[in-house]
Structure 1
Amino acid sequence: MRKSNPVISHGSSCLTRKAMNSAFCRSRRPRQARRTPPSGSMDLHAVRDLCHQMGVVASLAGDVRKAVVIEHEFEVRAVLSRLLRQVGFVVHETSSGEIGVELAERINPQVIVVGSGLRDIDGHETLRRLSNRVSAHLLAVLESDEEFDVVHSFDAGADGVMSKPLREREFRARIDSFVRRQASTSRLLALGESQRGRILSHRNLTLNVVTWQVMIDAESVELTATEFSLLRALLLHPGHVRSKKELARMLNDEDGAGAVDLYVSPAAVRSIEVHIANLRRKLGDSARTELWIETVRGVGYRMVGEQNSRS
């Protein structure tokens, strides 16, 4: 199969084009210099310049939902981008893992979709780099649904996994679930509630449910959306043991409606184990020392100690 050069394109909504035109109309450059670079081969220096321009667009357009699609198959990439645009995302897409990571760091998207057959760095390495650098919701799209690939993707930092052939309704359902979670957080700000209940604390660890920020002492801890939700669930019930199935239901039904009736597959339980392991690693726990999260064998997890508090 002939290799294709990495490509990158960005959202094409009218608002985005208008914002970009207004951002550069005062530069008095020739008209052709203000045109958006076409899709095609680009090195990392070129994408940095483009990302800078897109950052200007985002700041002018206000709170825009942004997504990055990193997928080597053009047809699959086009479908993923279309589905994301249908639910209000401005989509930036590329076939390169390296460019995808660069894009994500520059524009700070809410959702990133990562394919597994990338040309430069593979999907698992792309997920690993993204999970260490951004806090977006990471969804892996795999070539198969074999258990090894699924578990490896969760190990690398994926919040969710799908396999090809792509099931459009399932993809939409996953994105809709994530959007509902974000909307629930945004409502806290819109209602103008007091700070009480927004910040959860445990010893020198604090979690802000509005800004999605986790701090240990004065140091920020970068978590994925799933890791943040799991930590929040444990902090909301200090001293209580949360079972793996309970945590899996919580992730699949953030609003809690009918959560008790949701079926939890063995794969979903395994994914909770992987996410908790990744969360522990980022918090500084080790296999021998449980500083933050304690495993209650045969039951589930809880925060270590009894000094949990809510401010």
Structure 2
Amino acid sequence: MKILIIEDDSIIVENIELTLHVGWPEAELIWTGLGEEGIELVESQSPDLVILDLGLPDINGFEVLKSIRLFSNIPVVVLTVREEETSVVRAFEYGADEYLNKPFRQMELVARLKSLAKRKSSTSLEGEKCGPFLFSFSEQIVKYGKITINLSRIEMLILHHLAINQGKTVTYASIARTIWPSDYPGYKNAIRVFIRQLREKIEKDPGNPQIILNKPRLGYLIPKDI
């Protein structure tokens, strides 16, 4: 397991290295303090996971995330001092898989990284027909009728969770547990971001959804009759 750390604070990097040395000793670590070099390392070194700071000295961490998502679906954990909800939502809009604040809790970081790695390597759902969808997790595509749709890993997990519960209301909390090891403040808004992105990809009219329906204050529903 190869983990790329894109972080300019050497003390934070040392803390991450110590945490992983204890909690995940087999992990191989690569480090850079620059965003541009981090993007290049994702391409050249093919790491399995990325830990990304937002406050980098050369380019904004959001721009690093956007650039990575142009060519890779590698799991990215944002690790930052920014606690405001707008930053959390923006990170997920740009394709982050996790969002943790500094100072981080050591075992939580290890748990979230291992959870992402497990999802990345899992092939148990490969080719699974679920509701009206056919899921291919290794290719990160979903087939709906004659349409093939490219989705991010989190979009895949959410859609699959809704599909296996077709006809039932799936709560925000249930969706959150499917994506993350534990809840965090603002998770409902993050889920709304992913639902909006899903609708833009699978609905004929995202403004008038027929596949993923709102259940006000509760969650979402895929109706049985689609």
Whether these two folds match at TM > 0.5 is yes
Deviation, structure 1 residue 115 = 0.2
Task: Quickly say closer, same or farther: Cα 1:114–1:266, change in 2 above 3 A.
Answer: closer
Cα distance in 1 for partners of 2:71, 2:204 equals 19
Aligned Cα root-mean-square deviation (Å): 3.1
Deviation, structure 1 residue 250 = 2.5
| % identical equivalent positions | 23
Partner of 2:81: 143
| Secondary structure in 2 matching 1:207 | strand
- Paired amino acid for 1:153: A
Q: Does 1:80 align with 2:16?
A: yes
> Aligned runs of 1:75-154 on 2, under 5 Å?
75-84=11-20, 87=24, 88-154=26-92
Task: Quickly say closer, same or farther: Cα 1:198–1:215, change in 2 above 3 A.
Answer: closer
| Secondary structure in 2 matching 1:134 | coil
Deviation, structure 1 residue 149 = 2.2
Contact map agreement 1:200 1:208 (CA 8 A) in 2: no
Rg larger in structure: 1
> Aligned runs of 1:1-311 on 2, under 5 Å?
65-84=1-20, 87=24, 88-182=26-120, 185=122, 188=124, 198-200=127-129, 203=132, 205-209=133-137, 211=138, 213-216=140-143, 217=146, 219=148, 221-223=150-152, 225-253=153-181, 264=183, 266-283=185-202, 287-290=206-209, 292-303=211-222, 306-307=225-226
- Paired amino acid for 1:235: A
Task: Quickly say closer, same or farther: Cα 1:246–1:94, change in 2 above 3 A.
Answer: same
Matched length: 222
| Secondary structure in 1 matching 2:38 | helix
- TM-superposition CA deviations, 1:124-143 (whole Å, max 9, x none): 12222323432222211112
Deviation, structure 1 residue 121 = 2.0
Deviation, structure 1 residue 247 = 0.8
- Paired amino acid for 2:140: Q
Which runs of no fewer than 5 residues in structure 2 stay unpaired? none
Higher share of residues assigned helix: 1
- Paired amino acid for 2:135: L
Deviation, structure 1 residue 285 = 6.5
Cα distance in 2 for partners of 1:118, 1:274 equals 25
TM (norm. structure 1) is 0.60
| Secondary structure in 2 matching 1:206 | strand
Which runs of no fewer than 5 residues in structure 1 stay unpaired? 1-64, 189-194, 254-261
Cα distance in 1 for partners of 2:42, 2:69 equals 11
